[in-house]
């Protein structure tokens, strides 16, 4: 039977302090080693003292702790409640588009002069016009933003006024975020009583 090295005995000390040292042979070897090694005996006493300190400083958790924490959380905002409706908007629009195209194809058949084919052409023209209008609106809005930024940074006075405006808006936002809601104000006890 080979003898474990000193590091193995130190690992066994940690396991023994946690109550996880399994096997009678390991316990017997550890006891034998402790009889001859002052360093390990000192470490064992330190581990026992530390375990006792942890037991004495344990904080008891109230049984209703989870319910109290969950009750103190703010309610979900309107954004969270309507998020599920927003996630289905794009797939619903694609489904409507595919349905319209499928209906147009069914009505069109093989005759290009039929009313179904003209429906497909009308739907295609509608999407083309919407795409061009969207691209034009996007370009115009970016050009407008560019003109505003150019105007703001053109002089130090307008840049300073813009900075002051941004600072005021940030302070307003912070004050709105820190303001108590009526439900929170009612649940907070008055410290003067």
For residue range 22-61, list pLDDT tens digits in order: 888 888 998 999 999 999 999 999 988 988 888 888 888 8
Please state, in angstroms and rounded to a whole number, the distance separating the CA atoms of residues 16 and 28: 12
CB distance 105 to 120 below 8 Å: yes
- How is the chain split into domains, by residue range? 6-56, 90-181
Per-residue three-class SS string for 158-173: HHHHHHHHHHHHHHHH
Instruction: Count CB neighbours of 169 within 10 A.
Output: 10
When mean pLDDT is compared across 3-12, 47-56, 178-187, the lowest value belongs to: 178-187
Please state, in angstroms and rounded to a whole number, the distance separating the CA atoms of residues 93 and 105: 18
Which range scores top for mean pLDDT: 43-47, 123-127, 142-146, 182-186?
Answer: 43-47
């Amino acid at each position: 039977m080979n003898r474990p090295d000193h590091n193995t005995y130190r690992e066994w000390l940690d396991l023994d302090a946690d109550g996880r040292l399994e096997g009678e042979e390991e316990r017997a070897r550890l006891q034998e080693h402790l009889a001859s090694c002052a360093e390990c005996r000192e470490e064992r006493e330190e581990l026992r003292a530390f375990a006792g300190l942890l037991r004495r400083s344990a904080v008891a958790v109230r049984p209703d702790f989870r319910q109290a924490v969950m009750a103190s959380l703010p309610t979900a905002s309107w954004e969270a409640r309507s998020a599920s409706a927003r996630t289905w908007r794009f797939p619903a629009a694609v489904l409507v588009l595919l349905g319209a195209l499928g209906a147009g194809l069914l009505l069109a058949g093989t005759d290009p002069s039929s009313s179904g084919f003209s429906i497909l052409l009308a739907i295609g023209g509608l999407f083309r016009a919407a795409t061009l209008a969207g691209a034009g609106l996007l370009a115009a809005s970016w050009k407008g933003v560019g003109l505003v930024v150019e105007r703001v940074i053109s002089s130090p006075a307008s840049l300073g006024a813009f900075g002051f405006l941004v600072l005021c808006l940030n302070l307003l936002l912070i004050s709105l975020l820190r303001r108590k809601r009526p439900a929170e104000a009612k649940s907070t006890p008055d410290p003067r009583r």
